[in-house]
Chain A
Amino acid sequence: MIDVIDGGRWTTIQDRGRPCLERFGIPPGGAADWFAARVANELVGNLPEAAMFECTATGPTLRFDVDRIVAVTGGQVDSAADWQAVRVARGSSLAIGTIAPGLRTYVAVRGGIDVPVVLGSRSFCQLGTFGGGFGRPLAAGDRLPVGQMVGHEPLPEPWPPSHRLPLRGPWEVRVIAGPQTDAFAGDALGRLSATACRVTPEIDRMGLRLETPGLRLPSEEILTVPMTAGAIQVTPSGGLIVLHVDHQTTGGYPVIATVINADLPLLAQARPGDTVRLRAVDMEEAARAWRRMSGWLELDL
């Protein structure tokens, strides 16, 4: 068992989420920074689908009742387990503390966090208040069982810094135009790409609200359409809402462009006040970006 001594700011259990249930209004969810989460599982030797802790801004303090192998990835914290697998002795605690730079940190435990599977995933779903073991973020006093979702030995070396994503802005985020680009007059995406967007304090796993200083794109509501993670909605007030993993499954604001899957982790680490620049790319470049990160994960250390 793992005892939660302090829950931190907003700590939830996440895995790869529950894709393809959006027709029921259920968001895909899963780790907001899928890359850091995947590396954390890799470091401790877990299967890719093992569940872990997702910490936000300030992490939890956890106590272990038997020796465990853990790894911490994503937003930077002061820990010996930062991007490497280490042994935490029975009875001792792991205090994650303040996360900076970056916003979200992942704590994987060898074997995975074994909370009940709900609708195919152990992830906490905020919109539906289910999953994640308790149907809520973790709090002091919670106890979590460790499973046996192990695929290989823990990696002996730290994860190389050359194979990590940046943790601080300004962020360059690559997008594919559409699907509702035609709802905007002229070269709206070109003008948006030339704008330094600013991250507002309104950010969570559902989405990030961005300001576009000096640019106001006129936008009108459209007939409700399905939405995806990365969809950049333009609201009638001219601001942007970039949907993330716990996104609303449908929406009525036109989507000018959609963030490519390889760059969604960057938005999981962006903080209020950060600058985001969008860059329109084609499918080829999106595929190249994906292959590059997949290549990192097939490292033979």
Chain B
Amino acid sequence: MWRVAPAGDRALLITIGTVIDPALLAEVLALDRALQDRQPAGLLGTVPAYGSLLCHYDAGVTDAARLEESIRQLEGKVEYSIPSGTIVDIPTRYDGPDLPEVALKTNLTPAGVLEQHAGREYLVYCVGFAPGFTYCGAVDQLDVPRMASPRLRVPAGSVGIAGRQTGIYGVESPGGWNLIGRTALRLFDPTADPPVRFKPGDRLRFVPIR
């Protein structure tokens, strides 16, 4: 059963699930597409992330109850399949400042961390927090808590891990992920259309470079 809850007086949050799961993301993205196709009255825009979808609405055109009703009509009816698009290579220099610490915490050598992290496929679950920040799927072998005190400045392109997840910073920003490497690939460009390199459902792979 989808949970629909108000996020203030002009948005609804639809929660389909609360775990990291490719099928859950696929259902969220399918609902997102279905709403964009149907254009319920007053729906202004949507924001997908992992197992949930935020729906902004124009309170002058519709209200929470009416919008929820049109969303509920889609429950159990959206067809979805696990994303299977092209895999994009991310050239990555594994020289992040936290690589030794991550190795220590995971009982691996730095080379072992690289081996676990690179060469496998990742699913993009969300682009959020800051412009272009790309949240990717989990690596069970690399379960490292977020840093106790976040850095004030993390450079754009930094590749970090936190709580089994991998993320790539789209812009220079504060951040608490353990930095293991960096890519020169530009993930956010305000003059481009779209302004970000990835979207939820995309697949990518880190390729070590020297």
Chain A residues in contact with chain B, CB under 8 A?
19-26, 118-119, 125, 127-131, 176-181, 222-226, 228-231, 248-251, 255, 258-262, 283, 286-287, 290
Contact = CB atoms under 8 A, between A and B. Distances in A.
Interface string B124-159: 011111111101000000000000000000000000
B11 A228 contact: yes
Contact of B128 (A22, A255, A290): A22
Contacts of A260: 8-9
Contacts of A129: 171-172
A127 B44 CA distance: 23
A25 B54 contact: no
A231 B117 CA distance: 34
B118 to A, nearest CB: 24
B86 to A, nearest CB: 20
A18 to B, nearest CB: 10
B103 interface: no
B10 to A, nearest CB: 6
A137 to B, nearest CB: 16
A25 B48 contact: no
19 contacts: A21-B195, A23-B46, A23-B199, A24-B132, A26-B195, A128-B190, A178-B13, A223-B20, A224-B49, A225-B15, A228-B8, A228-B54, A248-B128, A248-B129, A250-B135, A258-B8, A258-B9, A283-B9, A290-B9
B5 A179 contact: yes
B51 interface: yes
B35 interface: no
Contacts of A258: 6-9
B13 A24 contact: no
Contacts of A249: 47, 128-130
A129 B63 CA distance: 35
Contacts of A262: 9
Given A19-B44, A119-B195, A128-B188, A226 B128 contact: yes
A249 B11 CA distance: 13
A25 B49 contact: no
A183 to B, nearest CB: 10
B94 interface: no
A283 B133 CA distance: 33
Contacts of B203: none
Contact of B48 (A23, A228, A255, A290): A23
Contacts of A176: 6, 8-9
Contacts of B13: 178-179, 225-226
Listed residue (A125, A283, A290) with the most chain B CB atoms within 10 angstroms of its CB:
A283
Given A20-B44, A224-B135, A248-B128, A25 B170 contact: yes
Contacts of B130: 25, 127-128, 248-249
B133 A118 contact: no
A25 B18 contact: no
B8 to A, nearest CB: 4
B177 interface: no
Contacts of B53: 226
Contact of A255 (B7, B133, B196): B7
Contacts of B182: none
B88 to A, nearest CB: 17
Given A26-B195, A228-B54, A250-B126, A19 B45 contact: yes
Contacts of B132: 24-25
Contacts of A286: 9
A176 B8 CA distance: 5
Given A20-B44, A261-B8, A127 B128 contact: no
B3 to A, nearest CB: 8
B8 A226 contact: no
Contacts of B50: 223-225
B76 interface: no
Nearest to B45: A20
Contacts of A222: 18
A60 B63 CA distance: 41
Contacts of B171: 127-129
Query: Which 5 interchain pairs have the tightest Cβ spacing?
Result: A20-B45, A250-B128, A226-B54, A258-B8, A286-B9
Given A179-B13, A224-B126, A250-B128, A25 B190 contact: no
Given A20-B44, A231-B7, A283-B63, A250 B190 contact: no
